[in-house]
Structure 1
């Protein structure tokens, strides 16, 4: 059982208890940093967001069945007060706990069910390789994403390609995930490799990726399916390889033939390893 599956099992077995990312990561046998990135790749959301949604979904089932004590459900769901639970519940489902209990049905609610892994992992187009890469200096547009949402990344790339800095686009394109936090938030830098030492222009960020070892997998096809490739790479191949993952930025490196108009082309997925 790989780390993300261990984490999912533990969450489903203990979601009524006080849980932290550190506790879940310890059970899964990896660092909180690695679990946060792995879980995001496997499920599409952060550990904290998934745990919150699962607790609220189970609370919704109890309320629809007519549970009399909303405060008891709130406390069992990890909330310290009726008010905090009602606020979170309303944000998740668009109606208050008391309203759902009065309605008596789950119809129309978007519940989050226990996440299940697929029947056997899909195959990567090529066997990943281990390389020792030189340092890279990346300049581009950085944004912070909170709550495991990544919908803004395509528009971030659009902003980069229309920026004067990228006219015309030159250098290798990188999408870098860094500065991850326990709540699933992270910084994403969309940029190009730049070797000059000049300060970037206003609105741009410079990041240096130091020389180190990486495991590298290939994504082939449309960019919309890249999360699936990440899931197979970090959720199955990497844990089975036994390679030690480092707490450092991971990134996507776009091939020269990647077509930004169609979203089709080869993309390499790079995971940092300890030396």
Structure 2
């Protein structure tokens, strides 16, 4: 029974990832059951059993999730976002968005309630089959950075990210087009209380001082040194899989020792620029 359950889990995971990769396509039951390698007579019940919602609702949530990022981090017209999400009018989009996230698209754009957003989109986590990481040892150069410190629930990180993006746009001191963007988690969100979680959101700068600002952005450095680095592909929601695999699989067999600095992420692209499946993140593990 366990083997059967694992096979079904991986089938449903394939379907979820396929949906994420084809949000702009017409998706029907026969197509999705083929992806799952499951009889179409049983597919919907298997999906519902594992995910707790129908494929139709999952597709709608995936489209609204993408639309919410467009609203929060881009300046597209709401009607254009609505059409991309598959709605025939901004009115229909507004009704669906408000029913899902409590706020209208305009309200969400002005002041997103990320905590409620996370609660709506908190779906069951399906275990993934581990992939073989391609780990490289690099000499990471010291980076001068500007950063905003997020302290509190991981579900509110996007509020801090929005502040940092606004600072970047207003000052031009760490332009997103020509600067690197890093995240430094000082604790594990899976093992600490929400109020104890800390993540620094950083961008490289060419100067060592940052003028006082209302966003709470200050200057700092990421120290240079040897690092093991592995690339994570896809959603940031699954980045813990790559992190844990580095610690669990690579580190014990590497003969390397950890340096006294947290692991950190280099976000190569962003959810408001590319589809989620195209996200690229390098995970760095500082070593001696």
Q: TM-score range by the shorter chain?
A: 0.3 to 0.5
Q: Which has the higher contact order (CA 8 A, sep 6+)?
A: 1
Structure number with the higher helix fraction is 2
TM-score, normalised to structure 2's length? 0.46
